[in-house]
Amino acid sequence: MPVSDELLEILVCPETKQPVGLASADVITRLNAEIEANRLRNRGGDKVSEPITEGLVREDGKILYVVDDGIPVMLIEESIELEAG
């Protein structure tokens, strides 16, 4: 269940207040490869073990917030740092 357009319009990063947008399929694929290789951790230091189907990327492209069953998890410690480029 995708995040609604209305919700996307009002959501911002809780840390920087930057807008967020839907993550591209490339970003999701790359993160899922890291999960499968047992290498991905969230910013709280916990291992991410469940595949990601949807996410919201902060405007600067540095942070992803996972969307779980249509519900954005907008917690800083649950967010995932994205590599530059």
Q: What is the pLDDT of residues 30-42, one digit of tens each?
A: 999 999 999 999 9
Where do the structural domains in the chain lie, given as residue ranges? 5-81
pLDDT at 3: 86
Cα dihedral 25, 26, 29, 31 sign: negative
Residue 55's CB: how many other CB atoms inside 10 A? 25
pTM listed for this prediction: 0.93
Quick check: 20 and 12 in contact, CB under 8 A?
Answer: yes
